[in-house]
Amino acid sequence: QESQPASDLTTAIKQDDFDAQMQAEPALPLVELLAYCLMPNHFHLVVRQLVDGGITLWIKRAMNSYTRGYNTRHKRVGPLYQGIVQSVLVESDEQLLHLTRYVHLNPFVAKLSETPLYQWSSFQAYVQQQSSRVCHPDFVLNLAGSTDQYQAFVQDYAGFAQSLAAIKQHIAFEYD
C-alpha cells in the first residue's frame, strides 16, 4: 500500500472526529485560553496559566507546531514570526476585564469588522456563552456579572475606542 501525502491525511479526518477532538479537554492542560483575536498580521491571546511555566511551554509548542505545519504545507524553511512574543502580567480582575475588551474590540477598531462580532475572535463565544477546548469565557463572564453585562461593557466602549484610534492615527500622521 502506498503512503499518502500529509495533505491527503489531513483532509481524510472525518469532520465528526475533528469536532469531537476539538471539544475534548486535554488531560493535563498547561493553560486556559480566556480570549483571543486573530488579526491579519498579528494575534492576541489572553491566557491563564494553570501550572508553573505553562504559558512559556504552551506558546513555544504552539508557535513551533504552527511554523512546522506552515513550512511543510508551503514547502519553505525558517521562522515565520518577526520579533519576540510580548506579554503583560495581569494583576487584577479589573485589568483582565479591560484586556479582554481590548482584544475583542481590536478588529472593530482596525475596521476589519463592522461590529465587535469578528469571525476570528472569541467574542462570539462570550456572547453565546460557549466554553470549548479552544476558549473558556466563563471566568471573565463571571467577573463581568453576566453575558449581557460583558457584551454591554464591550459595546459601550466600541465607538470611543474607534474614535481614540482615529485620533492616534491623525496625531502620528502629523508628526511623521
pLDDT classification of 85: cutoffs 50, 70, 90: confident
- Summarised one tens digit per residue, pLDDT across range 87-126 is 999 999 999 999 999 999 999 999 999 998 999 999 999 9
- Summarised one tens digit per residue, pLDDT across range 2-49 is 444 444 445 556 777 766 666 666 678 899 999 999 999 889 999 999
Q: How far apart are CA 90 and CA 99, in angstroms?
A: 8
In sequence order, what are the residues at sequence separation of 6 or more whose Cβ sits closer than 8 angstroms to the Cβ of residue 144?
97, 150, 153
Position 175 scores a pLDDT of 64
Distances (CA, A) of 76 to 21, 59, 67, 70, 161: 29, 22, 10, 8, 39
- What pTM was computed for the model? 0.78
